[in-house]
Structure 1
Amino acid sequence: MTNINNIQSISQILDSQSTKKSKSSGPAQGFESLLNSVLEKTQESEQGIQATELGEIPAMDFDIQTVSSIVTDKTDKLLTSLESYAYKLDDGNITLKEIEPMLEELNADAASLLEETLSLGEDDQSLIDIARSTAVTAKTEYLKFQRGDYL
C-alpha cells in the first residue's frame, strides 16, 4: 500500500513541475501570444469587421469541353486549313516548296482528328462521319502532294 501512496505523491510533484514550466517564458509563450492575437482578429471579424485574409475564396468558372466539341473544333480547323491550301495551290505565285509545311500540318491535324473520333460514342455518328471524311480528304491531299501529282 505504501507504493501506491508514493505514486500519488510523484504524480503531484510532476503536475506542479509542468504547471511551473507552462508559466515560464520561452517558445511556448511566443506561441501563446501569437495564438491570442489571431483569436482577437477572428473575434473582431465576427463582430462586423471584415477580415479579407480569412474570407471565402470564390471558385473560378471552368470551361469544360466535351469530346464532341473538341472534335467539332478540330474538324472546323482542318476544313479551314484545307480551304487555305486549295487557294494556295491555285495561286501560281506560290511554289510547292512553300506549300509543303502547310501539308505537313494538315497531315498532323488529320491524324489528331482521327484519334479524337475514337472517343466519340454512337450518338455522335454524324459528327464521326464528317470528321473522318475531312481527315481522309486531308490525308489524301498529303499523299497526292508527296506522290508528285501537282508537279
Structure 2
Amino acid sequence: MTSINNIQGITPIPGTQSTQVSQSSKTQGFESLLNSALEKTQELKEGTKTGELSEIPALEFDIQTVSDIVTDKTDKLLTSLESYASQLHDTSVFLKDIEPILEGLNTDAASLLEETLSLGEDDQELIDIATSTAITAKTEYLKFQRGDYL
C-alpha cells in the first residue's frame, strides 16, 4: 500500500508546457491561506468585526384588527347583494345563472357571522350592521332555494 507521504510527483507529458511548482512553495501557499482563514474566523469569534454589521430594518406590516376585517367583509357582502338584486331584476339573466352568486352570498354570510363573534362589546353597532347584512343574504339564499322567484 502506498503511503500518502510517499506519493511521487507527476511526470510531465511530452509536448506540453511544464508548470512545475516546487513542493515547498505549494505547502507555504496553502499554509498561508489556511492561517489567514483561521485568523479571520478567530477575529469573528472574538467579536472584533461585529461593529461593521448594521441593523436590518424590519418591514412595516399592515395589521388589520377584527373590526377592519368585519367591516371589509360586510362591505363585500353588501356589494354582492346589490349585484344580485340588479341581476334578479334583469330579464335577460336566467335563474340558473344567478345560483352561483347566491352560493357565494351564503358562504360570505356564514364567514361574516363567524368573524362577528370575535368582536367585543365596544363594536356593538358594527355587530348589528354585520349581522343584519348576513341575515339578509341568508334569507335571499333560502328564498331562492325554496323557489320563491319561479
Pair in the same fold by TM > 0.5:
yes
Alpha-carbon offset, residue 79 of structure 1: 0.1
- Looking at structure 1, the residues matched to 39 and 83 of structure 2 have their Cα atoms a distance apart, in angstroms, of 69
| Alignment-derived partner of residue 8 in structure 1 | none
**Which sections of structure 1, spanning at least 5 residues, go unmatched?**
1-28
- Residue 75 (structure 1) aligned with residue 74 (structure 2): yes
| Cα gap change, 1:61 to 1:35, in 2 (>3 Å) | farther
Which residue number corresponds to residue 36 of structure 1?
39
| 1:110 Cα offset (Å) | 0.1
Aligned residues: 117
TM-score under structure 1 normalisation?
Answer: 0.69
Give the aligned partner of residue 10 of structure 1: none
1:58 to partner: Cα distance: 1.0
Aligned position for 1:121: 120
**Deviations for 1:102-149, whole angstroms, at most 9, x for unmatched residues?**
000000000000001101111100000000000000000000000000
Residues in 2 aligned to 1:123 and 1:101: alpha-carbon distance in whole angstroms: 36
Quote the Cα distance in structure 2 between the aligned partners of 1:45 and 1:114: 53
Give the letter aligned to residue 120 of structure 1: L
- In structure 2, the partner of 1:107 is 106
User: Counterpart amino acid of 1:140?
Assistant: T
TM-score by length of 2: 0.70
Q: 1:57 to 1:85 in 2, by over 3 A?
A: same
**Structure with the higher helix share, 1 or 2:** 1
The percent of aligned pairs where both chains have the same amino acid is 71
Output one character per residue of 1:42-84: Cα deviation in whole Å (capped at 9) or x when no partner. Answer: 86896xxxx6xx4321100011111011000000000000000
State how far apart, in whole Å, the 1-side matches of 2:100 and 2:50 are: 62
Unaligned runs of 5+ in 2: 1-32
Within 5 Å, which residues of 2 pair with 1:20-59?
Answer: 30=34, 33-37=36-40, 39=43, 54-59=53-58
